Structure formats: structure tokens, C-alpha cells
Amino acid sequence: MPPDDPFTPEQLAALARPLDRARVKTRKQSGKTLSYIEGWHAIAEANRIFGFGAWDRETLETRCVSERERTIGEAKKPGWGVTYTARVRVRVGAIVRDGCGAGHGIDVDLGQAHESALKEAETDAMKRALMTFGNPFGLALYDKQQREVAESEPEPEPDRNLLVMQADQACMKSELTADGITALCQELTGGLGSVLAELPLDLLQRLAQHGASQATVTRCNQAGQALANEFNPNS
């Protein structure tokens, strides 16, 4: 990695990763279907990739470019339509990126229309600034073929051996509560049941000693009455 590169290899990999199609929203505008990511998701991705305290944004300029009376909805209520433009700067370390955006607000209350338009313009400008960092921020959507937009990858299977070892260590240290035991067993098995039979008998006994919940014992019965008797000798 070049010495002046502000990003770690993990961050560079995250920025180059295809955009998750599940995060892409669409809307109709002027007869066209537009794809976009939501503002909250862009902020969440910046926090995840850069770090909560490693980036910031600054609104450099806002301008109201339109304010007019109009009717709203089928009831034709009198209201207002307002449009703002904004310029926002995003800093990640020494890297600075600017973005421009526009927002529209429609409301029966003029103040609410201004607020909606201003917020939308700032969010739009922020997303455009973040977009320059890579696919997770919507860069992939500027390719009409969306070749860097991919289906969600399945979650990796948990390392069962590691979970069993962690459960064993926690039991020996008396760290597991009844709810914790149930949650751990569900994580180990994806629904408990027969896989409980694969756990070491001494680990099951330690789980029982630490007060497995009735729900856990009930699921143990699904793994066989003999195992349930070992797990809960008082049943």
C-alpha cells in the first residue's frame, strides 16, 4: 500500500465491493425509473467503512430556487411547492469531496415545505459526494447496465467448533445466563434440535447446571428422550 494512501486494505476492499442489490431503491421521475440508495444507508456505510469518528460532512451552501403556491392531492388543498439546491463537502481524513444536490418539498404549511426541500437537498448533495468513494455509496448505479450491482451474498456459516469451545469456556467460568444458553444453542444449531446430540455430554451437563431455560429443554426433547434425560435429570 502506498505510504500516502489513507485507507487500509480492508477499507479498499469494501469500497471496491459490488453494491448490494437489496439496498437499491427505485422511483418514477419524468416518465423514467431512477435507481438510488437511501440517505440513511449512505451514512451507515460511511460509518461502517471509514469509522464513526473518521469522516464528517459540512453544508457549504443552500439556496431556495423556487417557491410557489400549488394544489396538493386529489382534494386540491391549497399548499406550497419549494425547491432547494445544496452543496455539501465530505471529508475522510485528508480527502475532500464535494457534491451538489436538489430537494423538493410539498406541504400545506410553507415552513414544512421549506424544511423538507432543504433536508432532501442536503442529503442528495451528501450522497453525491460520498458516491465518488465507490460502489457502496451508489457509484455502481451510474452504470446503466449496473454491472457492479450484485445480489446479496449469503451469511457465512458460523464456526461450530469455535462456538462450542466458547460455550464450554463460558460455562466453566459461570458466565452464561439461561437466556444466553438458549441463544447460544440456537446459534450453534440454527434451531437446536438434533445437533444438540453432537455437543459433548459434559458440556450439556454444564449447560443444565447453569439453568437452561424450559424452551431449551423442550427443544432437547426433539433430539431424543435419552439426551433430554441427561440434559435435565430432574425431568
Alpha carbons 34 and 46: distance in angstroms, whole number: 23
Low-confidence ranges of the chain (pLDDT < 70): 1-5, 153-235
Beta bridge partners of 91: 56, 96
- Number of CB atoms found within 10 A of residue 162's CB: 9
What pLDDT does 52 receive? 85
Alpha carbons 195 and 190: distance in angstroms, whole number: 9
What pLDDT does 181 receive? 54
Alpha carbons 39 and 120: distance in angstroms, whole number: 9
Give the chain's domains with CATH numbers: 9-150 (3.30.390.80), 160-231 (no CATH)
Beta bridge partners of 129: none
56-74 confidence digits (pLDDT tens): 999 999 999 999 999 998 8
Grid coordinates given for 226: 435419552
What pLDDT does 59 receive? 96
pTM of the predicted protein model: 0.62
Alpha carbons 160 and 82: distance in angstroms, whole number: 56
Q: What percent of the chain is predicted at pLDDT more than 90?
A: 48
What pLDDT does 117 receive? 96
